[in-house]
Amino acid sequence: MKLYYKILFSTLLLGIVSCTDVIEVDVPEGPIRLTIEASLDWEKGTSGNQQTILLSTSTPYFESQNNSAVTGANVLVRNNDTGAVFNFDDQNDGSYTTSSFVPILGDSYTLEVLYQGETYTGTETMMPVSDISAITQSKEDGEDDEALEVNVSFLDPADIENHYFLRFQSRVDRLPELFYIKDEFVDGNEVTFYYEKIEDEDDNIEEFKPGDTVDIVLLGISEDYHNYLRLLVEQFESAGDAFSATPVALVGNCINVDNPENIPYGYFRVSEKVESSFTFE
């Protein structure tokens, strides 16, 4: 819904009478904080033993992100139901890895990060996901009847609340297309989402061509993480335009135990995942 009316009004404003250009703006500088990207995704049909957690720091808005990797932290994940502890090894490039993680659906996990004398923790439950039922391509669906789009369908289980994170990454592009999905209006139905690129000369966006490949990831997620992603995606796509809410700080599920004011960015998620890729014909 939201997406639609945003497109509706933005298109009117942008497409018909307005013009856009890139300008220089002075922005404020907030505190530098730890960013935790702890995404323990268990691909269906695999052991899920191999997992990676990424740590970095935030930077001023217009600065390069090249040197923000965090090394020297201690990272572990604990299964709160079984008591099992998984230590993540510092790879000295901002990534921390393990090859012994044991994923169990419905179990609760806690992340602990010790960095510069402060302990950060977060807790999340592992959520299941539906299988992708179909991946197709078409032209007539989507916003533009002449542009190619890839359609991904899956069947939502009836009578239970489900939340999903669907990620498209075109191999020829830098930025992904992200969808946060709640089954509120579509409970129990087969649902289809599409990824279509509309040509835009100003932004150097080209339509999909035969031969382009898109990687597709579908995750089962918690309601809280869905709400986090909703705000993240909305703000990523349209923060600042007149038909968006005032952008605000994203609140993840990790806290700083020793210094509560120094809140970390990022999220700790534990999800079942299905993955696929699609090449346009």
Could you say which residues in the range 95-154 bind another protein, by CB under 8 A? 141-145
Residues binding another protein: number (CB under 8 A): 98
21 vs 159: CA distance, rounded Å: 47
Fill in the per-residue mask, 147 to 186: x = in contact with another protein (CB under 8 A), - = not in contact. --------------------x-x---xxxx-x-----xxx
In the bound complex, what is the minimum distance in angstroms from residue 137's beta carbon to another protein? Answer: 15
- The reply to whether 251 sits near another protein by the rule CB under 8 A is yes
**Among all chains, which residue has been given the structure tokens 């898109």?**
214
Q: Are strands 34-43 and 265-279 parallel, antiparallel or unpaired?
A: parallel
Q: Which two tokens stand for residue 143?
A: 């916003």
DSSP 190-242: EEEEEEE---BTTTTB----TT-EEEEEEEEE-HHHHHHHHHHHHHHHHTTST
Token look-up 């509706």 returns: 8
Quick one: which of 76, 105, 114, 232 contacts another protein (CB under 8 A)?
A: 232
Q: In whole angstroms, what is the distance from residue 32 CA to residue 79 CA?
A: 30
Residue 231 as a binder of another protein (CB under 8 A): the answer is: yes
Of 5 and 102, which has the nearer Cβ to another protein?
5
102 versus 186: smaller Cβ distance to another protein: 186
Give which of 193, 171, 190, 189 is closest to 180, Cα–Cα. Answer: 193
Which is closer to another protein, CB of 50 or CB of 61? 61
Q: By CB under 8 A, name the one of 250, 262, 275, 280 that touches another protein.
A: 250
Nearest-approach distance from CB 238 to another protein, in angstroms: 7
SS3 56: strand
Q: Which stretch binds another protein (CB under 8 A): 73-81, 106-114, 207-215, 238-246?
A: 238-246
